[in-house]
């Protein structure tokens, strides 16, 4: 999808299919994934001021974060589990872009000072239990003053959250012991159908519970309506 957007194809939309059959077209997505810094939403730009040192860009997508931070002199490792995304990153000049699932990161990548997960990518931590395991591992792969900058969304207050197809989905999630905003989705583009994956959206309170006991805590949030970038730091 991003390759098509990069090639300038018109009306490239990201199709998101939720496990209950809800299907949506993210029309702005592909352009946003390639957007230069000046076109980013203000809370994304603000988050960049908190980046320091060596950076891991998780779910790098079109590479916009990596490209911006490289320009500012940071050493950046971009990872994505989509071969097409990695190709787009490389074609656009990301120096170290790797095809790698977030859950597969290990010490071979070296030590990071900042982990960036913009664009709702806190969801890439997966379910609450998986997130806790991965946060503990990240603790060992990062420097003492490391920060995680991870975007999420408080779905209970989101516009349209009271639509029956969303309210019912949250209710069934809670029934099954999932986070209310834990969507299971897959991405489709043309004849390509991605794998199903869990992509939770959490409130700051829910995030605090996930962070509890991992060695990390929520230092503050940078808000933009129902969306926010969590500034996550190590607990001394």
- Which chain residues interact with a second copy by CB under 8 A? 11, 13, 15, 20-25, 27-28, 165, 188-191, 193
Could you tell me the smallest distance in angstroms from the CB atom of residue 27 to a second copy? 5
Could you tell me the smallest distance in angstroms from the CB atom of residue 19 to a second copy? 11
Query: What is the residue whose two structure tokens read 């010490």?
Result: 107
Q: Which is nearer to a second copy, 10 or 205 (CB)?
A: 10
Burial 160-198 (b: 16+ CB within 10 A, else e): ebeeeebeebbeebeeeebbbbbbbbebbbeeeebeeeb
Query: Using N-to-C axis directions, what is the helix angle for 128-140 and 204-211, rounded to 10°?
Result: 60
Q: Within a 10 A sphere around the Cβ of 81, how many other Cβ atoms?
A: 18
Could you tell me the smallest distance in angstroms from the CB atom of residue 5 to a second copy? 13
The SS3 call for residue 78 is: strand
Could you tell me the smallest distance in angstroms from the CB atom of residue 171 to a second copy? 14
Could you tell me the smallest distance in angstroms from the CB atom of residue 14 to a second copy? 8
Helix (H) or strand (E) holding 139: helix 128-140
Q: Which is nearer to a second copy, 21 or 73 (CB)?
A: 21
Angle CA(35)–CA(41)–CA(45) in degrees, nearest 5?
90
Q: Which is nearer to a second copy, 108 or 191 (CB)?
A: 191
Q: Which is nearer to a second copy, 176 or 190 (CB)?
A: 190
Q: Which is nearer to a second copy, 16 or 138 (CB)?
A: 16
d(CA 48, CA 165): 35
């Amino acid at each position: 999808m991003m390759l098509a957007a990069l090639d300038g194809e018109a009306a490239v939309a990201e199709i998101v299919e939720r496990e209950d059959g809800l299907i949506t077209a993210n029309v702005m997505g592909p352009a946003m994934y390639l957007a230069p810094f000046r076109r980013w939403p203000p809370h994304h730009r603000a988050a960049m001021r908190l980046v320091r040192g060596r950076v891991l860009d998780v779910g790098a997508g079109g590479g916009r974060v990596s490209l911006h931070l490289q320009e500012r002199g940071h050493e950046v490792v971009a990872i994505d589990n989509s071969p097409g995304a990695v190709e787009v990153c490389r074609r656009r000049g990301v120096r170290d872009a790797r095809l790698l699932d977030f859950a597969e990161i290990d010490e071979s990548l070296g030590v990071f000072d900042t982990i960036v997960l913009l664009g709702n990518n806190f969801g890439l931590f997966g379910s609450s239990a998986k997130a806790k395991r991965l946060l503990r591992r990240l603790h060992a792969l990062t420097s003492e003053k490391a920060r995680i900058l991870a975007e999420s969304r408080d779905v209970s207050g989101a516009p349209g959250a009271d639509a029956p197809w969303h309210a019912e989905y949250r209710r069934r999630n809670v029934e099954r012991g999932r986070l209310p905003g834990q969507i299971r989705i897959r991405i489709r583009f043309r004849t390509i159908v991605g794998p199903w994956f869990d992509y939770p959206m959490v409130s700051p309170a829910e995030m605090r519970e996930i962070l509890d006991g991992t060695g990390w805590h929520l230092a503050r949030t940078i808000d933009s309506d129902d969306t926010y970038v969590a500034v996550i730091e190590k607990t001394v």
